[in-house]
Amino acid sequence: MEKFIIALDQGTTSSRAVLFNKEGQIVGVAQQEFRQIFPKPGWVEHDPMEILNSQLAMLSKVIDDHHVTPKNIAAIGITNQRETTVVWNRKTGRPIFNAIVWQDKRTAPICEALKSQGLEEYVRDTTGLVIDSYFSATKIKWILDNVEGARALATKGELAFGTVDSWLIWNMTGGTVHATDYSNASRTMLYDIRRLAWNKKLLQALDIPGSVLPEVKPSASDFGIWKHGDVEIPIRGVAGDQQAALFGQACFTPGMAKNTYGTGCFMLLNTGTNIQQSKNGLITTIAWGLDGKVEYALEGSVFIAGAAIQWLRDSLHIIDQSKDSEYFAAKALGVDDVYVVPAFAGLGAPYWDMYARGAIFGLTRDTGKDHLIKATLESLAYQTKDILMAMEEDAGIKLSSLKVDGGASANNILMQFQADILATEVERPEVIESTAVGAAYLAGIHVGLWKKEDIVNHRKVQKVFNPAMEAARRDKLYRGWKKAVERCKGWAE
């Protein structure tokens, strides 16, 4: 009997279900975009019911469209946009407020209050993170403080918090399982990544009752059962999207790194069982929990990557589809004067400036949309270089190759520029959906369908981009980028 695994890839802009066969090949994909809600400048929300309904619809669609017998589905794996915060009523199962998205900046004042209490070093040592509105903790506090009756319900133990994985698991299991995995827990700014426990001091500092928190499990574990008709399908793998991509790219050895070009851009470097603290503005995160041990990674986060391409499409209307960016950028090759710094949600690593805002530099009378599109694409590569340099310094190694994935990695002009500006080869696999691959393998490993080495054997490289830019030009371009970033910092303070 043929066996399948389904990965639910719940992202920032869409919900996807990806069907894998026993050889680890994708045999079906269903995808649906959902609304982005912007109530005020710097605020970003999602409707949790829309996330849930779109994700369940895609799960059913991929089963129905590909005529898969539900009994042949060995397990479901879940990977999700991280840090996005949902708080719901345990009795009704309904969210008490929209999901506050990882890009949201409304909790910057709460972060400042924590810093004024001298908690920065404690947060870094305990959670591996920096105090920033990016992470879940301050979002939970904001909801409890600002939604009428929320704090009273939380005190009575009637509210539940979860990142999006927990929200999906709760609903898919009929409210019987309130859980998350190590990788997602490590993104909340409330989890002690050394002791593997929720941290009472930080909960107290933010006035968050421990009763709202989910149980934390290994990434390959029993997360309950989803019923499709009368068939019970086990949920057996969960990981935050970037950790899932690291796993899906088979970065199992310390020193291996990947970069995912999604809504944001996220580079992770495997550090094995060692917790490596950064001196250069990177964060330490749990990569995954598997086979009775926890492994860690250094991470650099670029908040706006593919979202900058969507901005060209949806706000400026200068491209019809994201993939058109490659065509227009090709028409401006050789023109290097324009820089776009897409700090729409502040700047992430290594700058960590909540008050930075986006800007365009170097405009002249003959600047056209081609130059703007090219510069926006290049901003993804420049931000990646910022992180890679910090990573190499922290880890004391020179990366010889960067594994890439995510939607924008399909763009050949971007990938060649990435190799050029890094002076490092860039390796793109045949399957660039590494987040879904990672979630599928975690679930498949738990049910005995695969072993870790199968990921290495199944993974195929589609193209390698080798650096071809002269060093003098590379240095000049990067100096211009750094100058542009400096002028964006602190704008909204």
* Residue 187 placed within a domain: yes
Q: Is 306 annotated as a binding residue?
A: yes
Note whether residue 341 is domain-resident. Answer: no
14 is in an annotated binding site: yes
- Say how many domains are in the chain: 1
**Cβ atoms < 10 Å from Cβ of 2:** 10
**What is the rounded distance in angstroms from the CA atom of residue 290 to the CA atom of residue 310?**
36
Tell me, what CATH number does 142's domain have?
3.30.420.40
Residue 136 located in a structural domain: yes
Give the whole-angstrom CA distance, residue 483 versus residue 351: 13
The answer to whether the annotation marks 241 as part of a ligand binding site is: yes
83 is in an annotated binding site: yes
- Which structural domain, as residue segments, surrounds residue 215? 4-240
Q: What is the pLDDT of residues 44-90, one digit of tens each?
A: 999 999 999 999 999 999 998 888 888 999 999 999 999 999 999 99
Q: How confident is the model at residue 432 (pLDDT cuts 50, 70, 90)?
A: confident
d(CA 432, CA 8): 15
**Mean of pLDDT values over 1-15:** 92
Is 16 one of the annotated binding-site residues?
Answer: yes
Instruction: Please name every residue paired with 17 in a beta bridge, in sequence order, or none if there are none.
Output: 8, 30
Confirm whether 245 is domain-assigned.
no
Long-range contacts of 270-274 (CB under 8 A, 24+ apart): 270/246, 270/295, 270/297, 271/295, 271/296, 271/297, 271/298, 271/395, 272/296
pLDDT tens readout for residues 114-146: 999 999 999 999 999 999 998 999 999 999 999
The pLDDT value recorded for residue 305 is: 86
Give which of 316, 279, 272 is closest to 297, Cα–Cα: 272
> What's the whole-model pTM score?
0.85
Question: Per residue in 195-217, pLDDT tens?
Answer: 999 999 999 999 999 999 999 99
55 is known to lie in a ligand binding site: no
pLDDT recorded at residue 198: 97
Is 94 annotated as ligand-binding?
A: no
310 is in an annotated binding site: yes
CA distances, 54 to each of 13, 233, 237, 325 (Å): 11, 19, 20, 27
pLDDT digits (tens, 9 = 90+) for 95-115: 999 999 998 989 999 999 999
Which residues face 296 on adjacent strands? 272, 286
Is 407 part of any domain?
no
